Amino acid sequence: MSTPHPALADLPGVWRRTLVREADGSTDRVTAVLWVQGPALFGDLRRPPGLDEVVGRAPLAELDRPQLLALCAQKAFAGTLEQDGPRFSWVRRIDLHPSAPLPDAGTLHWADGMLVEEGLHEAYLEHWEPVERNPDGATAAALLDDPAEGRTGVLVRAGSWFCYARDRSTPLPTSQVPLVEQVRGCTDRAQAAALLDCEVSIGRVHADRWEIVSSTLPQRIGVQLRPELNRDGGGLRINDTDPHGRTHPRDWQLAEVEGPVQLLAG
């Protein structure tokens, strides 16, 4: 017998947001929002309409100030989903924006096949529809560590979908100054690009091809991720790019693995 409230084990897969009603009563049905959920690790990318037409596919270092400011309208984060009874908490290990003063927490319940999220600390409501739910035996995720650069990463595989996230090289200041104001206050474009060099990319898996279809970084769209396990299975090499768009492999250590690690390699 189904229950009105899901368990964490019911959520692996890919979810598309169809509606959000904010605390002020405003609604949004047009922002492109995808949430890729693994056994516990997850990634979430939210891009406003028309953004691709504004920024194109150029790397961060080649974008002008208005284009860099336009990228600040995105929201993107990745981390661990935790459940405590009816309460769910999205613990953000990577976030495009400065940390919010309140935890990201809410309740979830089913309504006419839709997953409904209601905020605990803010009076928001979101509707989520399944794109690919509980893919049979094809869900895995890893928390990644790059000790050489001090970066954190997340890779989630859910059926034919994946989400790859990595933090910027220099953490954002701990202040609550909005990202758009930080970028606007930069003295040069290189400094602004460094603030925005936080990747959350979502893509599709076709055989051994892992193609990014949406990303916080314009130059990543259409790129092949090419994740490869090293020989002892304790690390993962991923095709990465710098702010100038130059391709280079990034070697990650597997800090935590959920599900079969072989699903995380091309």
pLDDT at 201 (0 to 100): 98
Q: Is 135 exposed, middle or buried (0-12, 13-18, 19+ CB in 10 A)?
A: middle
pLDDT at 2 (0 to 100): 52
Joined tokens for residue 262: 């072989």
- The domain defined by 11-264 folds into Lipocalin (2.40.128)
Joined tokens for residue 72: 């600040």
pLDDT at 222 (0 to 100): 96
153 forms beta bridges with 144, 166
Segments of 138-241 assigned E as strands: 139-146, 151-158, 161-166, 199-206, 209-215, 228-229, 235-241
- Model-wide pTM > 0.85: yes
> Could you give phi then psi for residue 163, rounded to 5 degrees?
-135, 130
CB atoms under 10 Å from CB of 131, counted, come to 16
- From CA 261, how far away is CA 266, in angstroms rounded? 11
- From CA 1, how far away is CA 106, in angstroms rounded? 24
**DSSP 3-state of 210:** strand
Residues 6+ apart with CB under 8 A from 90: 42, 44, 77, 79, 81, 104, 105
Residues of the chain with confidence (pLDDT) below 50:
1
- From CA 211, how far away is CA 165, in angstroms rounded? 14
pLDDT at 115 (0 to 100): 96
pLDDT at 1 (0 to 100): 38
